[in-house]
A and B are shown apart, each in its own frame.
Chain A
Amino acid sequence: MTDLTDLTLLEAAAALRSGDVSSRELTQACLDRIEDLEPKIHAFLSLTPDLALKQAEDADRQLSEWRREGVDPPSPTWGIPMGIKDVLCLEGVPTTCGSKILEGFRPPYTATSVERLIDAGVVVLGKTNTDEFAMGSSTENSAYGSTFNPWDLTRVPGGSSGGSAASVAANMCYAALGTDTGGSVRQPASFCGVTGIKTSYGRVSRYGLIAYGSSLDTVGALAHSAADLLPIFHTISGHDPLDSTSMPEPVPHVALDGTDLTGLRIGVPKEYFIEGMQGEVETAVHDAVRIFEALGAVACEISLPHTDLALPVYYIIAPAEASANLARYDAVRYGPRIEAEDLRGQYFATRGALFGQEVKRRIMLGTYALSAGYYDAYYGQAQKVRTLIKGDFESAFKEVDLIACPVAPTTAFRMGEHSEDPLSMYLEDVFTLPANLAGVPGIAFPVGFDSDRLPIGMQLNAPHLGEAILFRATYAYQEVTSWHKERPSL
């Protein structure tokens, strides 16, 4: 057999089911590969080898019992090693959000999404790197150092789920959980040549996801294909009494059994092809749309007229919510403390010293947008324009079933390229923010390479709770193409 880490999630699941391989062997292979590559990639903030090997042994015991009884495991996730983005709590395991202000924090409970995976037999290898509090598009804002793009170590992996994307791209794990508030699953998936699902707002419980922008935060996952992502989606989705914004609607059981997309209507928004974007990205996305047409879909140009307002709306609403959510870091209940004479001084000293530059910038921006005299002009107005952006999607989905567009204007950029100019970094998110503001799901997947052999990603969006159609369409595309099978040479 080839290297076990070269398998896809579903191939590994099949080998586990037949008994050709054990979860312990898969887990050890991943841990060995991580040890080998981590000095180059830095995808993880902490590793949990003891926990992983114990979970693997438990999974092996259960799998062999099922094999004796002649029954299949309830989910292909059983015994599969995964990475977990370090903004999701796992009881007793360091959870830092990539921030010094949570250094040493060991959560007393586990996030629902993570718990559901563990209950479905997933093996946790460790916590993956992220921009501090998921604020960033490059993973350069991690207080513990950037992750490096496995396709070109001088470039960023995207962000904020850059550690998750890089770990999957480098075959360190079969899949990883990420989160997406403004593009943080889709953009790193695009930059690292993997497939990433951003779920509908409310589809997956946010309990135990450390809050950034509460009206925008979603949990998602990254793997090598839509088929590999589907069992993870099935496992983590669905109502949770511990998150009142998780939807009671049943999770569709999606069956991936064909490439016929006859009758599927795909809209290509003209506003997503802008001046200054990389020509190769534009070409690859249009080529991919033609493949969908060859599979039976009908594509047409559509308009999402308020697209250019998504960026200013997001960079008012997300920082406003962040400034409120991050008020909890007071050095009283968790995290390190910078001592001062009184409590107030302790707040100022600790927060000033232990939050990073981007986090402080967004807290300041949000505090300003919510402050007396400016609330209506900024936060109030942004919420109203958000209604228009949401309305763009509602109108479009009366005419089409899916929206197809680029994930980002460019392929992976160089380390440090945007670090002096926050606004130019924010512009990287211009095609991913609208889905978060509208609450709709999205999937990003590879559709080609540029002349520097960097992966090019494409995005599909569907109506709220319409993940099934994203999986079916992406699966069909990946059945007839092989971009998702390419791997970086490391």
Chain B
Amino acid sequence: MALTIEEVRHIAQLARLTLTSEEEHRYTEQLSDILDYAGRLSKVDTSAIPPTASVLPLHAPLRPDVIRPCPPQKLILRNAPSDQDGMFRVPPVLDT
């Protein structure tokens, strides 16, 4: 399965990654190799096999709905690269 450089650029867009031109070329080659190797999966007949998403039986356990203390706002904001008035500060999202 050979990927094209256009496909690599498209995946990088989906993944929100800026890649250098050198990275685009390297990933085109390396991801093609890996997908080529993964291609052997397609030879397995799985028509009667259910998928495994988790090795545990999937269920949603419930716990009592009680109020627990949560970390104070100040502590959470301490890690933010930029904050203002108790909020995370980001560049404009909408055109004004």
Q: A residues within 8 Å of B by Cβ?
A: 104-106, 108-109, 201-202, 215, 241, 244-245, 247-248, 308-309, 311-313, 315-316, 323, 327, 331-337, 339-349, 351-353, 355, 357, 360-361, 363-365, 367-368, 371, 377-378, 380-388, 390, 422-423, 426, 437-439, 464
CA distance A340 to B30 in the complex (A): 29
Say yes or no: A347-B16 contact (C-beta < 8 A), given A108-B79, A332-B90, A385-B46.
yes
For window 54-84 of B, CB contacts with A under 8 Å fall at: 54-56, 60-61, 63, 71, 75-76, 78-82
Please indicate the chain A residues that have their CB under 8 angstroms from the CB of B79 in the complex: 104-106, 108, 333-335
Per a CB cutoff under 8 Å, which of B14, B30, B80 touches A332? B80
Residues B38 and A390 in contact, CB atoms below 8 Å apart:
no
CA distance A345 to B91 in the complex (A): 9
Residues B44 and A309 in contact, CB atoms below 8 Å apart:
yes
Per a CB cutoff under 8 Å, which of A105, A335, A343 touches B92? A343
Please indicate the chain A residues that have their CB under 8 angstroms from the CB of B38 in the complex: 312, 315-316, 378, 382
Say yes or no: A312-B54 contact (C-beta < 8 A), given A348-B17, A360-B19, A363-B15.
no
Nearest first, the 10 A-B pairs at minimum CB distance are: A352-B18, A439-B55, A383-B51, A337-B81, A334-B79, A384-B46, A312-B38, A108-B71, A367-B15, A386-B52
Residues B40 and A312 in contact, CB atoms below 8 Å apart:
yes
Please indicate the chain A residues that have their CB under 8 angstroms from the CB of B42 in the complex: 377, 381
Q: Distance in Å from the Cβ of A155 to the closest Cβ of chain B? A: 24
Q: B residues within 8 Å of A by Cβ?
A: 3, 7-8, 11-12, 14-19, 23, 27, 30-31, 33-35, 37-42, 44, 46, 49-56, 60-61, 63, 71, 75-76, 78-82, 88, 90-93
User: 28 A–B contact pairs at CB < 8 A?
Assistant: A108-B79, A201-B55, A202-B56, A215-B55, A247-B56, A332-B80, A333-B79, A334-B79, A342-B91, A342-B92, A343-B91, A352-B17, A355-B17, A357-B23, A364-B8, A364-B15, A364-B27, A368-B7, A371-B14, A380-B51, A382-B41, A383-B53, A385-B49, A388-B44, A390-B55, A423-B34, A426-B34, A437-B55
Say yes or no: A386-B41 contact (C-beta < 8 A), given A335-B81, A348-B17.
no
CA distance A332 to B83 in the complex (A): 9
Given pairs A360-B27, A365-B35, A464-B55, 15 additional interface contacts (CB within 8 A): A215-B54, A245-B54, A245-B56, A309-B44, A312-B38, A331-B81, A340-B91, A342-B91, A360-B23, A361-B30, A361-B31, A378-B41, A384-B46, A384-B50, A387-B51
Residues A383 and B31 in contact, CB atoms below 8 Å apart:
no
Please indicate the chain A residues that have their CB under 8 angstroms from the CB of B75 in the complex: 108
Question: Which chain B residue has the least Cβ–Cβ distance from A439?
Answer: B55
Question: Which chain B residue has the least Cβ–Cβ distance from A386?
Answer: B52
Please indicate the chain B residues that have their CB under 8 angstroms from the CB of A352 in the complex: 17-19
Please indicate the chain A residues that have their CB under 8 angstroms from the CB of B37 in the complex: 311-312, 315, 423
Please indicate the chain B residues that have their CB under 8 angstroms from the CB of A345 in the complex: 91
CA distance A380 to B3 in the complex (A): 20
Q: Distance in Å from the Cβ of A480 to the closest Cβ of chain B? A: 34
Per a CB cutoff under 8 Å, which of B15, B19, B88 touches A323? B15
CA distance A439 to B55 in the complex (A): 6
Q: Distance in Å from the Cβ of A80 to the closest Cβ of chain B? A: 29
CA distance A387 to B46 in the complex (A): 10
CA distance A331 to B34 in the complex (A): 30
Q: Distance in Å from the Cβ of A250 to the closest Cβ of chain B? A: 16
Please indicate the chain A residues that have their CB under 8 angstroms from the CB of B81 in the complex: 331-332, 334-337
Please indicate the chain B residues that have their CB under 8 angstroms from the CB of A364 in the complex: 8, 11-12, 15, 17, 27, 31
Per a CB cutoff under 8 Å, which of A248, A342, A426 touches B93? A342
CA distance A104 to B78 in the complex (A): 10
CA distance A371 to B82 in the complex (A): 32
Please indicate the chain B residues that have their CB under 8 angstroms from the CB of A438 in the complex: 55
CA distance A106 to B92 in the complex (A): 27
Residues B46 and A367 in contact, CB atoms below 8 Å apart:
no
Residues A351 and B41 in contact, CB atoms below 8 Å apart:
no
Question: Which chain B residue has the least Cβ–Cβ distance from A105?
Answer: B79
Question: Which chain A residue has the least Cβ–Cβ distance from B44?
Answer: A385
Please indicate the chain B residues that have their CB under 8 angstroms from the CB of A327 in the complex: 16
Residues A333 and B56 in contact, CB atoms below 8 Å apart:
no
Please indicate the chain B residues that have their CB under 8 angstroms from the CB of A323 in the complex: 15
Please indicate the chain B residues that have their CB under 8 angstroms from the CB of A388 in the complex: 44, 46, 49
Please indicate the chain B residues that have their CB under 8 angstroms from the CB of A337 in the complex: 81-82
Residues B71 and A109 in contact, CB atoms below 8 Å apart:
yes
Please indicate the chain B residues that have their CB under 8 angstroms from the CB of A335 in the complex: 79, 81
Please indicate the chain A residues that have their CB under 8 angstroms from the CB of B88 in the complex: 332-333
Report which residue of A336, A344, A384 has the largest number of chain B beta carbons within 10 angstroms of its beta carbon: A384
Question: Which chain B residue has the least Cβ–Cβ distance from A424?
Answer: B33
Q: Distance in Å from the Cβ of B74 to the closest Cβ of chain A? A: 10
Question: Which chain B residue has the least Cβ–Cβ distance from A248?
Answer: B61
CA distance A411 to B54 in the complex (A): 32
CA distance A346 to B93 in the complex (A): 11
CA distance A355 to B16 in the complex (A): 11
Question: Which chain B residue has the least Cβ–Cβ distance from A109?
Answer: B71
Please indicate the chain B residues that have their CB under 8 angstroms from the CB of A363 in the complex: 15, 17
Question: Which chain B residue has the least Cβ–Cβ distance from A311?
Answer: B37
